[in-house]
Amino acid sequence: MKTLVIVFLLIAFTGPGLLAQVPARRDSVKKIAQRDAIELKLSKAELKNFKKYRSNYNDDFFEPDKTTTPDTTLLRDSVYVKAFRLEAYKRYKHKRTAAHYVIVGEVFLTSIFLILLVAALATGKNVR
């Protein structure tokens, strides 16, 4: 009976402390996954296929493997795998080509030029 009471008190006082450590571990695993997701490089064929269907981050494109994860025990951790996939998806979802930035820059400069031209014409000054 004494043993049962001691075990119960031990569980009552140490149980909440053990549960409090779980979120901290989860956060550290997520940070590790975010760092490791930077190492992921999609092949040209995978990147082309991904650009066609950008909707799902659970695709096999973003599966962590031995080349991206230094600690292979994390490959079996569901929190790590989910955080890795999400971070890699975010990284590739917002990736743009150089042509995209050139086009956006040209549209911006053309709009500035047109605004200045309209402003010069509106003021009535001679524009040559």
Q: What is the SS3 assignment for 85-112?
A: HHHHHHHHHCCCCHHHHHHHHHHHHHHH
Q: Under 8 Å CB-to-CB from 43, ≥6 apart: which residues?
A: none
Between CA 66 and CA 63 the distance in angstroms is: 10
Phi, psi of 58 (to 5 degrees): -90, 5
Q: What is the pLDDT of residues 55-88, one digit of tens each?
A: 766 667 788 888 888 888 888 888 888 999 888 8
Question: Does the pTM of the predicted model rise above 0.95?
Answer: no
